[in-house]
Structure 1
Amino acid sequence: MSSSTIDAADQETRGSDFARLSRRITEAGLLDRRPVYYALRLGLVAVLYAAGWAAFVVVGDSWYQLLIGAFLAVIFAQVALVAHDLAHRQVFRSRRTSEIAGWLAGNLGVGMSYGWWMDKHTRHHANPNHEDHDPDVSPNVLVWSTKQAAASRGVARYIGRWQAFLFFPLLTLEGLNLHVSSFRALGKPSLKHRGLEATLLVAHFVLYFAAVFAVLPLGKGLLFVALHQAIFGVYLGCTFAPNHKGMPMLTGDQRPDFLRRQVLTSRDVKGGLVVDIALGGLNYQIEHHLFPSMPTPNLRRAQPIVRAYCAELEIPYHETGLYDSYAQALRHMHAAGAPLRVRGASVTPAQ
């Protein structure tokens, strides 16, 4: 996409396109709250979370704890997905109630700063796949374009060469990265309620490690923690990777109108009820980005409306299977790192 194709006048003309879609969605009642759904979902996740730790205590000093660790990793990821919905105020109308529930689920439940993550995710929603503004495609360890490859240094430059092959192994560290980033955020004055967030984060890890090493000897305990955090990281990464990775990247002054900015940089993932549950509804990424506060169970019903509307306006609407979404993301990553694999060659940023 070239920035020259999207001038200010064109954006102004297209600005009403989203308003028309929004009226259709509102008239269909798809922005209405779903209290029964969320009562059941939050209740089930809470019960499974408690059951996992209860099983951990009952099983005691046993290698079967590795199975418990894998189960708890899945439940931790589901708690994080609940925190995501809370951050978008899909669950409660009240901002304060959403914050309280978010602190309990994020900080205390899984060791993730709710305030830090909400700020980061809000910036992502405002500018998805924009190299200069989306924190999810910032070149920290991985590079997402040849432009980023040109500017990469150190670890990112080395890993970028073979990042498509290293992507899933690196996801085993994503849980650790989430925890470290949460604690680092506590030092930033921009983070609100730092004292409360710090207290809940510390409480999570005190309780977590106290439980693990009260039941397991040092060796087994360390292995349990490593396995639990690795699977947690892989699950989270596999939840978010299909959504935007491999879709068009924006840079500089490239800024389509809201409707096109969200649709063109996102993809939906097919797969039915199992995929809906596993990905927490984020497989309807286009609909979620257009209507972030829409309750998760309504995203499936919104999809045919959004798809048909995009067809009317001749806006490409991308939907694929789960495995193909990963393949597309990996191919994009491999292409972005290609210049780094040419020994001695200078890297020319993509236009």
Structure 2
Amino acid sequence: MKRGLFCLVALLLAAGGCGDKSATGAASGTAAGGTTGAPVSARPAQAPPRPKEPPRGPRKPADPAVMKSFHAERCHVGLLTLGLARTAYEKSMGKDRPGPKIPDLGAPEVKMGNPAHLYLRLARICNVAGAADKPPHEELDKALHAAVEVGPPLAQALSDAGDYYTKKENEKDDFAKGRELHTNIKKGFEKLDVVTKGVGDALPSWHKEFPPKLEAAPAQKSHLIVMRAKAVFEAMLAGKDAAEIDKLIADVVTATDELDAATKDLKGDAYAAYVPKAARTFIERAKAAAADKKIPNLVSVGSGVGSLFEAENNAYKQDISGYVPPDPEADNPHHGMH
């Protein structure tokens, strides 16, 4: 009996010892590995507060005259570039229709996609320019309305032709669609000179009546870059000598450097954000075309001028939005055409 009680006590003590050991192990495990201990809250950690957006002032309405100038100038560049497409097309085809000949559309090569789409990108702005009735200007408005009827449809036909030949659809329909496009393209080419001259002749009187009001250096210098770039393109189309073209390109380089200098301390400046990059791309293309006056190189220059007008337009629209840089020490960059 005594022996039985002794064994029972021994068993109870052993069980208690095991329990203590387990508890001790759990405690030591918590200290060593940190896998147990105080319960972790199921509530997710609070997300950090979102950064405050920079304050914005009241948005100024865009000046209709400024916007109309952008669109009219870009339309003119698009029409001039379509003239290069005509030269390439007619040289490649002569009096023949497509099949088996494939027309040369004059567009620079692209890594993928339709190279002739750039004509549509450049010329369809004529639709916007033609719809800009404020402020009215009889000569320019008449010229732009005529351009709407020629430039965008011709550019669309060239783009469609580029897509058609890029996809080799002529091999499937024996040039049927190519001949249909050829008819539309030729009709557009016949009217192109008249509308191009109309817009080009009207722009000087428009600018005289509605000169851009450039109040700050970045806007002034950006506009100078764009107009000098257009002068380079027009000089190339007119067949000016190499020395004159090199000088005009150098003028664009100088104006771009001046814009960089004027905006280097203006954080968040809209013109610095858009124009210099487009200007450097244009300069590179212009130098290539000056060295080799192949039509695709000249088309690339025209595309570069169009991109510069677009960059200036984007900078102007951002500039009037009232954007204030988040850095309180930064100079207020609000300036532009008003």
**Fold match by TM threshold 0.5:** no
- Which of structures 1 and 2 has the bigger CA Rg? 2
TM-score with structure 1 setting the length: 0.27
Q: Which has the higher contact order (CA 8 A, sep 6+)?
A: 1
TM-score with structure 2 setting the length: 0.27
